[in-house]
Structure 1
């Protein structure tokens, strides 16, 4: 495998010093080890968003209600910033350095994904003269729970004089206060308080404690100096907010000073008393001593070794898209480093990269993150589930709070195992959390073979959580005795307190069957453990049978008219949101603009529950039904959740929606890298990052689990030449490689692996490779032709050119033939941007809007002079021939004036559906316009043929999964599947014999330019 392009798949690099982007960069360059997280700020900068976090350090605050009812959550837990030991301030002479007072000449940040280190270099000129190059490299040790190591260097470019480095531990940061966005900040009572502190030449430390949760923290630091002796100890002291140690030196041009800093945190369990302080301090000092003895280079080498196992297990490569490979590696690295290395925690929604969601864990840890770790880092997946078992007693208490006499209900959002959501319709009502945990247990055991976990921990969790379903559901005589579940909220929080949420019901069905099967397995294979479990949880002899009966009777409705699964009993009865509001970016996300009741009254999804159910537990649903559900829910989903895109990517790939699959994949791939939801500054979206890996392996790779075995059905996304990923399954390592020829499987580790390829059993032994061709492309019956307008049916391009030429003359912008060719097929604003590339001055957004309106006004004037005589020769006959052949027709024009144009041209009645620029948000070469045309016709894109005269249009057609007919010159339309000199040469009968999937057509580069 090889990659072309400029992106380094192993390095994330950012340049520039725009303060507006600093907080996002601090999230992107955060380092963590599951216990400790350190955001990626600059050591000497006073950024208000820089912070350090410990997964085990949180504060408990009472929830204030004006009206509190039985069972409401009484407290919430919030992860709070701990003492920040990443600080190293500079002084030049006696003057403290304030970076913003000087000149930033260059700044580079670099995350090395091979060794897990963050490096940055700042070239800076002091206000009074003198240039420094300040660089640092840091790591958070993956194999040492609370260790941060920094190598800090200052080199003089032309500065001569004294310099001092003040290495500090600060406690100035407190938790962000919640504003209008409930995803950010907290209403915190108490917090961390500074208890004690000490600083001398060897070590500095301070201790903190929380007010209500009673957690105690010690943070300590020590240093190692370069052997050249350039730095000398100057002093140590307590400061208003912590402790500091100072080293000084003389700098001359070309010389440098280097300081290695080691910081360690240790912390107690909740409700610890003062006697824990000596133990914590001793632990922190021991960590420092061990790290100092090892030294920074050795720690860095150890870090690379820790990551080598991840990169070998994931085994990723993308041929032809290095930027995609880089983003996938980045996402996987962030998820891996956020995973707990012990049984005392899981992965929070933002990992340890920021304060978003108060550090809470949600159901997406099991539904999105654990599936990735189960096949790349199974030990971390086990820790996640072991933590759930450790909080099982809290889940039992939560079930009692909701009036369940037996069983356990896991909280929707939590840190220590208690429900932390004050809004029960969107919190405690999300009973599906139990099913997510149960689903994750089964996946983990299947993938790892860890039956000991199932026996010792998993079985108890499955049984206790399964019990709740029989208490929230009942056999409904009005539904023919089907088992119905009422008043729950699914993952899609834009519907709340509904009956028979499809996701909840389908996942509960899977949960109940798994619980029953586990009890039966335990009885058959481990009777002593079964007896102990039955006694411990008072398991009735017939409970497993009751669970199976409820699962078999589970109500899973299908709408007879639409052929889809309703998201819940009332979902399809509600009105849809008007299209102009669905498409309005100013309303995203809806939860920040509309009262919950307004959202609940509409048929709108934050993410599509039904599709997620089909992704996780839809093996008994046929492909046609999945396609119908995908097409329907795509039209009512606003994707306000960062989880949404990955689900759509996986289902799109499974249902043959290749273009949509790739677009959704890119959306989930770059949620944080491109800050697509505008809140990456508050921490990275771990589940969305996991979703990009699921979109690759579950989507394009077709990975599922069937009867305990991995099942794959790989396909190749059109933009790539090939790709590779690894699958850790039990004691084996499988390499999956996909290119245009097919799929190639190699067993790198383990004696033997049985798996399925497109439903067919396969077996590999160690070192063996199996090459399997892609299935033959299905023969598609052509059902419709989608025509472009400008340059295909009418020479309206002449009118466009005249209008643009007039505007170009008015603003003195050159418009030559090459520029005009680039503007073909591009929407109005896109064309304007091309024209303005060589304009004599820059234009603001308001000015651009005025220029576009001016051009359109002139074009509208010219349109009024059109009549049927302005159709290109053979155009009307071409469209009529398609209709006479019994095929549907559509128009896909980038012009907002298309409806008026076809009226003037006298062909409006020849089209079954018309899409113009007012219906779409992305212009060609994006496939949206052709996808919209196919959807409007009620057809799959592969059943349609597109006709275009511009390269951007051909690309748009192909991206939509259609075959493409090009009208015009071969040199401009080299990618067309069928090439015609003009629309008069269009012969639907000849083209129908050639039409099919684009990849097959392009293989023989059909040309009908000389149809003799």
Structure 2
């Protein structure tokens, strides 16, 4: 009998219970994705969410501490190149329970699925599954499985998985055998050509010994080179009517078989407990004893007690990290799902790092990156500070390898954390995007600083934090200098920022800005310890051979850090040459999102203005204090247009800054893009594990984006806004030993200090004093607002030029264009109406024709398309021959006269190749200093090319131009060019404009341009 699974459905709730991830259908084609989504972990052990009775396949178990080391082979090997890489290996898989009905083993892929449900309870951490099957032999049975993986297994280096497994008979009569096994022999996944999976292949763990008897079964495994040893043991509690059958020792597995007799309505249940004990000492002999002790305790406790302990642990977490969204249960569920996965995979033992894919799959070979401190750790600092402390302690334990890496990179002192690693050494063979990413040091310092602000943990600072901060700060003076050609500013050379599509540059803005914050934080910590812990500081300084002269160098470098500001565009330049490069000329792939790095040589990427992810924008989010709103807004607009968001790290950062600068719709869009990146497998690689930093980014999008959460000088700051799609939202956080709750609705914001001493926070720039259990209610902040500007760009402002669109701004030829297109379309039998015509606004002739043809589903040759476009143009030219000055919109002549009297230059940026002729017919051609030649503009709006062309011809910096447009694409083009945008028309359609007017007659030059 062939399997008949029901079709797949999105992993989203069917009801309003946003505490559960539920499925009621199963699609074998999505099995790998679902194994990731339903995985359980505790920061040390991760178990993918497969079916106990199924073949293991891509299912499996991972331990954060179990990895193999492999040499990296180069044909040209130079000093400092990474010599080896680490790969996390699957360990013995203890979740397997095969079901035998008589002499036939159950094959669920050959069975008929009568009913299915799977549920992950995010409140308790319990995974439940129920499936009703008709076997290939015609027997009806039901399988019920529950599992939990507790955060606290009772002993360091010991982890526990608990399973309760039941087989119930619907119409089957006969014997049933539950063969509970530990399976070995799993090798690392095939890496293929996708670098997001990894580059190394690895053989599996060695099986050193195995045994099984009535009481327990276990295996001992070891790596071949890295010196890690693992013991995996299992034992059981048996339900009524179940008895031990026999033990089995196979080539790559051990098993214990349990027997029962079933009749319809009867069930057989076992509780299975699997313990892992690990040690990095390959000669460790006490692991079996540790595993046996933990296993004995687990069996004595039983499944319910273990599940209750895990539920209590999670209840304590959710008590401080509660969150809700009023009006969007699916978004609320996704946020909780993301935060749950982040919490369970974050390293909490203080030894192991937190990998980019957590413990849910084999993506990136189990490596961790700067994502850990830049994205994940901040969420933990606000919601689970003990976990954040453990994550930082793991970095502290990696200081010695970081010192070694610094020496490999020719730095005589200090520590340099690697780009990607498991054990602390650099694992990247591609140094331009690996070792050159010195910003990792700054990310660790950022995470450390945020933890210290959030907790005031002076003991950790003395024990670990100051040493991390000082040793990493020492690197900056070694890769930069006080440059006399830049007026003595401190410049940093040959580094790679977060944008991996731009490598080996001078003065990467993100790196310089974050290094500046790092150095100044290190100086403040030195001064703090000199005041509060002078003896400990003296001991540390002696051990590190650190003196006040070096601290003074840090201070001067921080204060004189070069931050490249481009006056022409009014934005921060990503680096010294980024803005000089041409924009990306190649077309985007249609359909599935496919990163450019999979199809283009790195040098091709490096030669263009193209960003993989947030870079300058990232700096403006993490270290934006003191940078003006106008600069942030212009920088956002410019870089958003050249960013592909090929990294899942990007959307949340852009969304946070969009919210800050008042682009509410874009903020909501980016939040949505990031919210279900794994639930809907938006990047096509959730099979390899969840995207931990992206999951963290959704919480940051809520808190730092919509709620405006920032910290500055140890003070919590908020500026909450409410997305129009929601009725309200709220979340809790922990701060300096207190619990704080924020609730936002249409009527305002309510802050409640749930416990602890009084707290001063800031709301929209205003200080608020909170006392325990006394809510304070205030009005919502205005998106992107500053006093008096109602959320828009501050006017009046300095300007030297006005650049106008033509159609819809100066006159109305929309119907003329429509009639010309309509005439041509009717002649060719192409469907065309006003709805399609709306898509042509602001679009040039050939691209307009492409839209019409795409709508009609028709493909033509280049010659045929050119002929149609020329025919339409002929109809249009024939029509505009009747245009006279009377066709100008009211107010146009007044605006042009006022501008000319003010000494402003005037330009026209129209996609029409007939613009000059039309202006002549309107009688205003002589008023303009330059009219764009659309024929030589390579890319149409929303690309900024035509506005930049006009600004260059006028000899005016884009930041000193104001563009006037009636089309959304045109407004995007203006903003991307770094200009202020005034929309003419519908405010909702032109939401990205800095100001919007109903018509050109409403334009008052004095209200928008400084005298």
TM range (shorter): 0.7 to 0.9
Q: Of residues 961, 966, 969 in structure 2, which corresponds to 1:932?
A: 969
Larger CA deviation: 936-945 vs 680-689: 936-945
1:485 aligns with 2:492: yes
TM alignment of 1:638-677, pairs within 5 A: 638-677=644-683
Deviation at 1:391, TM superposition (A): 1.5
Q: 1:272 maps to what in 2?
A: 282
SS at match of 2:383: coil
1:84 aligns with 2:90: no
Does the Cα contact within 8 Å between 2:358 and 2:689 map onto a contact in 1? yes
Q: 1:572 maps to what in 2?
A: 579
Relative to structure 1, the CA distance from residue 240 to residue 573 in structure 2 (aligned partners, 3 Å threshold; closer, same or farther) is same
Q: Of residues 298, 313, 317 in structure 1, which corresponds to 2:320?
A: 313
Deviation at 1:56, TM superposition (A): 0.9
Q: 1:103 maps to what in 2?
A: 112
C-alpha distance in 2 between matches for 1:18 and 1:929: 48
C-alpha distance in 2 between matches for 1:166 and 1:201: 13
Relative to structure 1, the CA distance from residue 964 to residue 466 in structure 2 (aligned partners, 3 Å threshold; closer, same or farther) is closer
C-alpha distance in 2 between matches for 1:876 and 1:416: 75
Task: Normalising by structure 2, report the TM-score.
Answer: 0.83
Does the Cα contact within 8 Å between 2:942 and 2:970 map onto a contact in 1? no
1:146 aligns with 2:159: yes
Q: Of residues 255, 260, 267 in structure 2, which corresponds to 1:256?
A: 267
Relative to structure 1, the CA distance from residue 130 to residue 602 in structure 2 (aligned partners, 3 Å threshold; closer, same or farther) is same
Q: 1:679 maps to what in 2?
A: 685
Deviation at 1:772, TM superposition (A): 1.1
Deviation at 1:15, TM superposition (A): 4.1
Q: 1:978 maps to what in 2?
A: none
Relative to structure 1, the CA distance from residue 912 to residue 211 in structure 2 (aligned partners, 3 Å threshold; closer, same or farther) is same
1:294 aligns with 2:339: no
C-alpha distance in 2 between matches for 1:582 and 1:91: 52
What CA deviation, in whole Å up to 9, does each residue of 1:711-749 have, x standing for no partner? 111111121111111121111111111122222111111
Does the Cα contact within 8 Å between 1:199 and 1:237 map onto a contact in 2? yes
SS at match of 2:889: helix
Larger CA deviation: 778-787 vs 418-427: 778-787
TM alignment of 1:698-777, pairs within 5 A: 698-775=704-781
Q: 1:67 maps to what in 2?
A: 76
C-alpha distance in 2 between matches for 1:990 and 1:453: 61
TM alignment of 1:430-579, pairs within 5 A: 430-578=437-585
Does the Cα contact within 8 Å between 2:245 and 2:257 map onto a contact in 1? yes
Does the Cα contact within 8 Å between 1:791 and 1:797 map onto a contact in 2? no
Relative to structure 1, the CA distance from residue 943 to residue 735 in structure 2 (aligned partners, 3 Å threshold; closer, same or farther) is farther
1:20 aligns with 2:29: yes
What CA deviation, in whole Å up to 9, does each residue of 1:843-893 have, x standing for no partner? xxxx99884669x9999999799769999xx99989824745749999999
Q: 1:834 maps to what in 2?
A: none
C-alpha distance in 2 between matches for 1:235 and 1:743: 64
Does the Cα contact within 8 Å between 1:588 and 1:640 map onto a contact in 2? yes
C-alpha distance in 1 between matches for 2:58 and 2:491: 47
Q: Of residues 323, 335, 340 in structure 1, which corresponds to 2:330?
A: 323
What CA deviation, in whole Å up to 9, does each residue of 1:915-943 have, x standing for no partner? 9x99789xxxxxx9965331224499996
SS at match of 1:136: strand
Relative to structure 1, the CA distance from residue 251 to residue 712 in structure 2 (aligned partners, 3 Å threshold; closer, same or farther) is same
1:194 aligns with 2:207: yes
C-alpha distance in 1 between matches for 2:995 and 2:418: 50
SS at match of 2:587: helix
Does the Cα contact within 8 Å between 1:123 and 1:133 map onto a contact in 2? yes
Does the Cα contact within 8 Å between 1:398 and 1:410 map onto a contact in 2? yes
Q: 1:166 maps to what in 2?
A: 179
Count of aligned positions: 921
Relative to structure 1, the CA distance from residue 891 to residue 334 in structure 2 (aligned partners, 3 Å threshold; closer, same or farther) is farther
Does the Cα contact within 8 Å between 1:178 and 1:186 map onto a contact in 2? yes
1:212 aligns with 2:222: no
Does the Cα contact within 8 Å between 1:892 and 1:930 map onto a contact in 2? no
What CA deviation, in whole Å up to 9, does each residue of 1:604-641 have, x standing for no partner? 11113211111111201111111111111111111111
Does the Cα contact within 8 Å between 2:33 and 2:686 map onto a contact in 1? yes
Deviation at 1:393, TM superposition (A): 1.3
SS at match of 2:308: helix
Q: Which consecutive unaligned segments of at least 5 residues does structure 1 have?
A: 810-814, 829-846, 922-927, 949-953, 966-985, 997-1012
Q: Of residues 11, 14, 32 in structure 1, which corresponds to 2:20?
A: 11
TM alignment of 1:829-978, pairs within 5 A: 851=857, 880-881=889-890, 883=892, 886=895, 931-938=968-975
Does the Cα contact within 8 Å between 2:749 and 2:780 map onto a contact in 1? yes
Does the Cα contact within 8 Å between 1:870 and 1:905 map onto a contact in 2? no
Relative to structure 1, the CA distance from residue 375 to residue 92 in structure 2 (aligned partners, 3 Å threshold; closer, same or farther) is same
C-alpha distance in 2 between matches for 1:801 and 1:723: 51
C-alpha distance in 1 between matches for 2:78 and 2:870: 66
Does the Cα contact within 8 Å between 2:983 and 2:993 map onto a contact in 1? no
SS at match of 2:569: coil
Q: 1:696 maps to what in 2?
A: 702
Deviation at 1:250, TM superposition (A): 2.8
Does the Cα contact within 8 Å between 1:132 and 1:157 map onto a contact in 2? yes
C-alpha distance in 2 between matches for 1:736 and 1:383: 27
Q: Which consecutive unaligned segments of at least 5 residues does structure 2 have?
A: 1-11, 797-801, 842-852, 900-905, 925-930, 944-964
Deviation at 1:905, TM superposition (A): 12
Does the Cα contact within 8 Å between 1:653 and 1:699 map onto a contact in 2? yes
1:132 aligns with 2:141: yes
Q: Of residues 177, 180, 191 in structure 2, which corresponds to 1:178?
A: 191
Task: Normalising by structure 1, report the TM-score.
Answer: 0.83
SS at match of 1:880: coil
Does the Cα contact within 8 Å between 2:820 and 2:875 map onto a contact in 1? no
Does the Cα contact within 8 Å between 1:735 and 1:748 map onto a contact in 2? yes
Larger CA deviation: 248-257 vs 601-610: 248-257
Relative to structure 1, the CA distance from residue 745 to residue 931 in structure 2 (aligned partners, 3 Å threshold; closer, same or farther) is farther
Q: 2:5 maps to what in 1?
A: none
Deviation at 1:797, TM superposition (A): 11
Relative to structure 1, the CA distance from residue 907 to residue 4 in structure 2 (aligned partners, 3 Å threshold; closer, same or farther) is farther
Q: 2:247 maps to what in 1?
A: 236
C-alpha distance in 2 between matches for 1:459 and 1:92: 62
Does the Cα contact within 8 Å between 2:671 and 2:701 map onto a contact in 1? yes
Does the Cα contact within 8 Å between 2:719 and 2:781 map onto a contact in 1? no
1:55 aligns with 2:55: no
Does the Cα contact within 8 Å between 2:732 and 2:739 map onto a contact in 1? yes
Q: Of residues 418, 429, 436 in structure 1, which corresponds to 2:436?
A: 429
Deviation at 1:945, TM superposition (A): 5.3
C-alpha distance in 2 between matches for 1:962 and 1:804: 39
Deviation at 1:647, TM superposition (A): 1.1
What CA deviation, in whole Å up to 9, does each residue of 1:306-336 have, x standing for no partner? 1112222222111111111111111110010
Does the Cα contact within 8 Å between 1:435 and 1:511 map onto a contact in 2? yes
